[in-house]
Structure 1
Amino acid sequence: MMGAAAAAGATGGAALNVNPIRNPNQANLDFNIPGDHHDLLHHNQVGTVIVWESQAAKAWHKIEPGQAPAETRVFLEGLSGLNDTYFTVNEFKGWHLQRLLKSLRACFVDIDLGRAATRYDLDEAIERLHEKAMPAPNMVVFSGRGLHLYWILKHTPALVLPVWQAVEGALIKALADFHSDSKARDCTRLLRLVGTKNSKTGGGVRGLVLDGQPWNFHQLTDEVLGHRPERPVRQVRSFEAAQVKRGIHPRATNFRRWHLVLSDLHQIGRHHGQIPEGFRNEFLFLGSVALSWFASPESIADEVIDLAKLYCRGLPEAEAEAAASQSIARAKKSIGGEKEMWQGESKDPRYFFKRETLWERLEPLAAPVVRSLRAIIPDGVAAEHKRECDKARWDDENTGKGYRVGNAEKVAQAQSWRADGMTQREIAGNLGVSQRTISTWLGA
């Protein structure tokens, strides 16, 4: 719900008319109305957008997907001129937590210059992206102390978060020598809202549309991470090639692994209802380890506290934060570019436990649901999974349902995207198959 005072004091405004064709030579379009910023990122909104007034009101607001567009614009325009007001780049199921992610709407880079940015700074950023063979952003926000670069996405379901994380990291790294903020890389991030003010400089926050056509996420992934190798037709004998066949970009496999660990922890938590007291610290610690590969160091504590509220009721927040403290410290080192030596090799300082270690630490909790887990599993179950995958890769028999076993995961993904409102054409583009194939898989 929105603040009544803000809504009552606002006046309506016409929506920004953006050129729907991607054209690098199109005229740039300035905008400074909060409603335009929302409409560019959250067109056809499917999840909750969170707004944060951090100054006088210190109030949180929710813009729900079913809300009338006119009401949304009236509310947002009531925020014009306020100091330090932010909103979520992506959309959620009620609140901005990783587990509640509903729709990915943009990749972004926060460039902190410590001063008001100019068009020259933007040109410099785009030139550096060009030098690194990276695509230019669709939109830029002059934040008062730098630039927020946006690569706007069509509605992209949360299940591709591991790949989104890899794309996000690659864009930030490409601008590392141009003051990109390496901490601003989490899907729950809030960024400054156009039309408000930066209290540190007193300057207004304004936007500039460079290209109004949102990216298809599959296409942006290929532009940023490189095109996937050709999918093997028959045998797949490497982990990387297997991931390609399953639709996972090779550069995103590490993020996918920890995403599966976090998913397994939720599966374990749901089974037990509440984690027994002797296992709570271990459960939350491993949750913080998994989150350190997705969340910013500043947000890990909030995510772990949420995990505790779900499955460790009654545990003081201070104890949940303590369980996450080492993971947070290591995440900060990683963000700062530090490395640690391990067995003669330079490694990322974040914890990276082997599958066997995860199982040893959580076996009593995980054993009752081991058949439904993907990452926290013993050797025997891992071997079974491998045999099943090998059978699907090498035999790839038909299921009798219009698709082969090897495509089962893609079919499930297509069904999920379709349920979220994505068109068959968009699904086909994301999965790299024909629209006719998608129609067959969906039984249309």
Structure 2
Amino acid sequence: MRPPHQLSLITEPSFYHGVSEAAYVALLARQEDGGMRQQSFRVALLDKVIQAAPRDRDCYLSQAQFMRPNRRAVNLYSLPLLFCDLDPVSRHHMPPEEWRRAVLMVCKDEGIPPPSLIVYSGRGVHLKWILTTPLPRAALPRWNVAQKMLGERFQHIGSDPQARDASRVLRLEHTVNTKTGQRCEVIWVTDGGDGMPIRYPFDVIFDEVAPLAREQLAEERKQRAETQQSPRWHERAALTVVNGGRHGLKLINFQELAWHRLEDLRTLATMRAAQEDGPEPLQGQRMLFLFWSLNFMALSHAVKPASFWMESQALAASLGPEWRYDRSEMSTLYHKTQAYFRGEVVEFDGRKLPPLYTPRNATLIDRFAITDDEQRALRTILSQEEVRRRDAQRKRDMRRKAGAQDRQAYEATAQHRREVARALRSEGMKQREIADQLGVSESAVRHYLK
């Protein structure tokens, strides 16, 4: 017979992990020998798995969803919530009711919407803002910024700066924290009006915690672009390393661009692997893809020094399941990642840049020998010719949407009007009368009759 506590129904994860056959979540459980065991399973099996999870020991569940049964940022699928992990700032134990009051007071003072859920972890609390629509993996840079800013708002009451990443796992409801003997429980639910926890649009949370709303950031970037002057290349200052904070770095710009370039490299690798028939796809190219993918993951804050080698291993497995690479070839990139997260910057021409690699599009196109056809499937790694082609296509689409005819249709209409104008003229009709009947100007009629 199962113990009474094992019969308690776990419902908290179902509020944000929707049913999906394409995504995976990870469950970590402490074993009887004291070790931890991790298993990944499809989200569609969530209810069955968590109800079978042991309740008398530490159990953790991933908060994000992954496209493969591997809990690494490179395999990220979607982000259904924002969260914040709080621990006591001292060894003093705080009961759940004190935590609830402290959190809601901070939300009121800081102007932050209250969390959808407050979960007591047996020692601290997990704050969770469930999103109206899960964010796709492409939005990870903005999600990371929101996570960082949320953590900073709660830092004075114990926010853990190391527990903000997308691959994070948090304690599962109704399981025991073996360090304290306390059970993990939901202690607060903000009602959304339908008896369920409230859900927030991501932009609402982001604009509340960001120093400037997204529209203001866009306007500031536009103003800087209009006033910035680019000196000649031989007038630019030499590179100098500056120790200290990352003040001046365009965090959102760098992170978003780096993440989109990572996505382009994944798309490129998938296309090239599909074109090869051999048992080892991307032969001779895998180290190139691994190096630059990790560089862009670090720039986007999807990988940090502590997770660098684990993410590297997961990414290498996606490029070739049996492929093994030499760690020494990645050591320079690892040290640059450490410098980046220590806050070092490179000052160049009055700008502050990260110590990681920030290549131009032309450099990447040359290194990967990206063809014009391959560029058609990419988002950011584009030549100037491809950029101009897309701009021309975008303008054509806008003209069609506004009601303008394409060239072929326009010429067919003009030919028809010429024939009608000449026929009416042969019947003795005046040019003004022909213009009125065709709905065009007299000068157009004169042109038709030439």
Task: Provide the TM-score with structure 1 as the length reference.
Answer: 0.65
The DSSP-based 3-state class of the residue aligned with 1:35 is coil
| Deviation sequence 1:31-62 (CA, Å, 0-9, x none) | xx571332333255663321011444633334
Aligned amino acid, residue 204 of structure 2: Q
Structure 2 CA distance for aligned equivalents of residues 280 and 286 of structure 1: 10
Q: Flag the 1:68–1:349 CA change in 2: closer, same or farther, 3 A.
A: closer
Paired position in structure 1 for 2:407: none
Structure 1 CA distance for aligned equivalents of residues 150 and 225 of structure 2: 22
Answer yes or no: is 1:182 the counterpart of 2:125: no
How far the C-alpha of 1:368 sits from its partner, in A, is 6.1
Structure 2 CA distance for aligned equivalents of residues 37 and 276 of structure 1: 45
Name which of 360, 372, 381 aligns with 2:386.
381
The DSSP-based 3-state class of the residue aligned with 1:66 is helix
Name which of 340, 343, 346 aligns with 2:348.
343
Paired position in structure 1 for 2:200: 215
Paired position in structure 2 for 1:18: none
Structure 2 CA distance for aligned equivalents of residues 99 and 284 of structure 1: 11
| Deviation sequence 1:237-290 (CA, Å, 0-9, x none) | 77999xxxxxxxx9854433122111111122123323343x433321211122
Which consecutive residues of structure 1, in runs of 5 or more, have no partner in the other structure?
A: 1-7, 15-32, 242-249, 401-444
Name which of 297, 304, 309 aligns with 2:312.
304
How far the C-alpha of 1:122 sits from its partner, in A, is 4.9
Answer yes or no: is 1:52 the counterpart of 2:28: yes
| 1:121-160 to 2 correspondences below 5 Å | 121-158=99-136, 159-160=138-139
Contact in 2 for aligned 1:366/1:376 (Cα 8 Å)? no
Structure 2 CA distance for aligned equivalents of residues 131 and 263 of structure 1: 39
Structure 2 CA distance for aligned equivalents of residues 334 and 177 of structure 1: 25
How far the C-alpha of 1:11 sits from its partner, in A, is 6.9
How far the C-alpha of 1:193 sits from its partner, in A, is 1.6
Structure 2 CA distance for aligned equivalents of residues 177 and 372 of structure 1: 46
Q: Flag the 1:64–1:271 CA change in 2: closer, same or farther, 3 A.
A: closer
Answer yes or no: is 1:93 the counterpart of 2:100: no
RMSD, aligned CA: 4.0
Q: Flag the 1:377–1:43 CA change in 2: closer, same or farther, 3 A.
A: closer
Structure 1 CA distance for aligned equivalents of residues 120 and 286 of structure 2: 44
Structure 2 CA distance for aligned equivalents of residues 327 and 388 of structure 1: 39
Structure 2 CA distance for aligned equivalents of residues 228 and 309 of structure 1: 37
Contact in 2 for aligned 1:49/1:92 (Cα 8 Å)? yes
How far the C-alpha of 1:107 sits from its partner, in A, is 0.6
User: How many residues matched?
Assistant: 354
Aligned amino acid, residue 311 of structure 1: L
Q: Flag the 1:357–1:186 CA change in 2: closer, same or farther, 3 A.
A: farther
Q: Flag the 1:58–1:291 CA change in 2: closer, same or farther, 3 A.
A: same
Paired position in structure 2 for 1:81: 56
Aligned amino acid, residue 113 of structure 2: P
Name which of 35, 56, 76 aligns with 2:10.
35
Structure 1 CA distance for aligned equivalents of residues 46 and 295 of structure 2: 40
Which consecutive residues of structure 2, in runs of 5 or more, have no partner in the other structure?
A: 191-196, 227-249, 274-280, 404-450
Structure 1 CA distance for aligned equivalents of residues 355 and 94 of structure 2: 34
Task: Provide the TM-score with structure 2 as the length reference.
Answer: 0.65
Structure with the greater alpha carbon radius of gyration: 2
Q: Flag the 1:67–1:341 CA change in 2: closer, same or farther, 3 A.
A: closer
Q: Flag the 1:124–1:352 CA change in 2: closer, same or farther, 3 A.
A: farther
Name which of 189, 200, 206 aligns with 2:185.
206
| 1:8-407 to 2 correspondences below 5 Å | 9=2, 35-44=10-19, 47-56=23-32, 58-67=36-45, 69=47, 71-72=48-49, 74-76=51-53, 79-83=54-58, 85-95=59-69, 96-113=71-88, 115=91, 116-118=93-95, 119-158=97-136, 159-211=138-190, 212-225=197-210, 227-229=213-215, 252-273=252-273, 274-277=281-284, 279-292=285-298, 293-297=300-304, 298-312=306-320, 314-316=322-324, 319=326, 322-335=328-341, 338-343=343-348, 347=352, 349=354, 351=356, 353-356=358-361, 358-359=363-364, 362-364=367-369, 369-388=374-393, 391=395, 395=398, 397-398=400-401
Aligned amino acid, residue 224 of structure 1: V
- State the identity %: 20
| Deviation sequence 1:71-90 (CA, Å, 0-9, x none) | 345313xx21213x211112
Aligned amino acid, residue 306 of structure 1: A
Contact in 2 for aligned 1:285/1:324 (Cα 8 Å)? yes
Structure 2 CA distance for aligned equivalents of residues 262 and 348 of structure 1: 19
Paired position in structure 1 for 2:434: none
Aligned amino acid, residue 51 of structure 2: V
Paired position in structure 2 for 1:417: none
